[in-house]
A = this chain, B = another copy of it.
Amino acid sequence: MKSFIYHQPTRLFFGRGQIKHLGKEAAKYGEKALLVYGGGSIKKNMIFDAVVRELEKYGIEYKELGEVSPNPVLQRVKEGIRLAREQKSDLVLAVGGGSVLDTAKAIAAGVFATGDVWSMFTGQEPITRALPIGTVLTIAATGSEANAHAVITYETEAKKCAIHSEMIIPRFSIMDPEYTFTVSPRQTAAGVADIMAHLFEQYFSPDPDAVVTDYLTEALLKICVEMGPQAHKEGENMKARANLMWASTLALNGLMSLGKRTDWALHKLSHELSARYDMIHGETFSILYPAWMRYVADADALNRFAHLGKVLFGEKANSSSAFIEHLETFYQSLGLPLHLSERGIGPDRFEEMASNIIDLYGLIGIFKRLDYHDIVRIFQMAL
């Protein structure tokens, strides 16, 4: 097992009605909060009211930054930084899903940027400080509520990049599964595909010795396969919503990558698609994973595909090809796409996207190293 340092200090309040802890927790950090949210659905389903009530109860002033979109863009981050500086915010409070949380994290770090905040995403400016961050989660997907990552799209450049820093780990997160009851079937399915992608990226490693991590990852994948369809079919199924929400946090709070190298090649392909075609993040993965798995199957020296097939779908899926077929059937059962063509995307920008990835990162992936030609081929297989 490889050496690691692990530190995950977020205080998590999980369960029905846990919003009651918000005011007291937020007040630990000061009396002025920048409240970040998305398209306004939280105003319809009363979550916004509950948040404001808590803030008012503890005398916390707030300024609002709404209209954060899926595949959140740099412009909203810059607007948030302006507001936070103006307000002299003590806390950035995100109420929403991964896009809102990532925007809040970028603002919290960006407030201390000496120049353009994008230089933190390109690595030119290090992150040395950030405002404290709190979150109220409304969708199970990204794990952003308890990790050190944020992904933002530079919309005018068609670039989607990430920051990673211990400084932007949320101090606390409120996780009420009921808040996800109104997430649409399509977004629920995309969330499941996203959680599974996080787990796949970490599971498919050439390192064989981190067996604890591997078994825990298999456990969370089983949750996705069992609970995903239930939450997709019955939005108000508390058991399914709660287990998916908790699995989504554990899938990307660092635990599932301990003691091993992890892959993350497909996230780079996914980001290219999202940046150019504004695809739903999770839907890129039901398209890309089967293609990638077929392309890299010969590198599977540990027989992880066959083993995982058996764990998730039973003896009948106990080979690479059977696993991939069962996975496709599973994705389809959730209404997820399997081909780029289903989203109207043709081959015309495959080379451009592959070039961009190689320019940004060089060779990618660790399960199998991928070069320009490999990337183009995977896009072609996903067509």
Asked whether A18 is an interface residue with its Cβ less than 8 Å from the other chain, the reply is yes
- Contacts A211-B226, A211-B239, A223-B211; A5 near B12 (Cβ below 8 A): yes
Give the Cβ gap from A382 to chain B, nearest Cβ, in Å. 31
Chain B residue numbers with a CB within 8 Å of A219 are 212, 215-216, 218-219
CA gap between A250 and B216 in the complex, in Å? 11
Chain B residue numbers with a CB within 8 Å of A177 are 1
CA gap between A9 and B16 in the complex, in Å? 24
Chain B residue numbers with a CB within 8 Å of A211 are 223, 226-227, 239, 243
Q: Are B8 and A8 in contact (CB under 8 A)?
A: yes
Chain B residue numbers with a CB within 8 Å of A8 are 8-9
By beta carbon, the residue of chain B nearest A216 is B219
Q: Are A250 and B14 in contact (CB under 8 A)?
A: no
CA gap between A2 and B15 in the complex, in Å? 7
Chain B residue numbers with a CB within 8 Å of A215 are 219-220, 222-223
Q: Are B1 and A5 in contact (CB under 8 A)?
A: no
Asked whether A7 is an interface residue with its Cβ less than 8 Å from the other chain, the reply is yes
- Contacts A212-B246, A223-B211; A14 near B9 (Cβ below 8 A): no
Give the Cβ gap from A195 to chain B, nearest Cβ, in Å. 11
By beta carbon, the residue of chain B nearest A3 is B15
Q: Are B212 and A223 in contact (CB under 8 A)?
A: yes
Asked whether A258 is an interface residue with its Cβ less than 8 Å from the other chain, the reply is yes
Asked whether A6 is an interface residue with its Cβ less than 8 Å from the other chain, the reply is yes
Chain B residue numbers with a CB within 8 Å of A212 are 219-220, 223, 243, 246-247, 250
By beta carbon, the residue of chain B nearest A223 is B212
Contact with B along A207-238 (1 / 0, CB 8 A): 00111100110111011001100000000001
Chain B residue numbers with a CB within 8 Å of A338 are none
Contact with B along A7-28 (1 / 0, CB 8 A): 1111111111110010000000
Give the Cβ gap from A6 to chain B, nearest Cβ, in Å. 4
By beta carbon, the residue of chain B nearest A146 is B6
Q: Are B12 and A242 in contact (CB under 8 A)?
A: no
Asked whether A361 is an interface residue with its Cβ less than 8 Å from the other chain, the reply is no
CA gap between A242 and B260 in the complex, in Å? 12
Asked whether A259 is an interface residue with its Cβ less than 8 Å from the other chain, the reply is yes
CA gap between A16 and B3 in the complex, in Å? 7
CA gap between A6 and B120 in the complex, in Å? 31
Contact with B along A233-264 (1 / 0, CB 8 A): 00000110011001100100000001100000
Give the Cβ gap from A5 to chain B, nearest Cβ, in Å. 5
By beta carbon, the residue of chain B nearest A211 is B243
CA gap between A11 and B6 in the complex, in Å? 6
What are 26 inter-chain pairs, A to B, with CB distance below 8 A? A1-B15, A1-B177, A1-B242, A1-B243, A1-B246, A3-B14, A3-B15, A3-B18, A4-B12, A5-B11, A5-B12, A5-B21, A6-B12, A7-B9, A7-B11, A14-B258, A14-B259, A15-B259, A209-B238, A210-B243, A211-B239, A212-B243, A212-B246, A215-B223, A216-B219, A246-B258
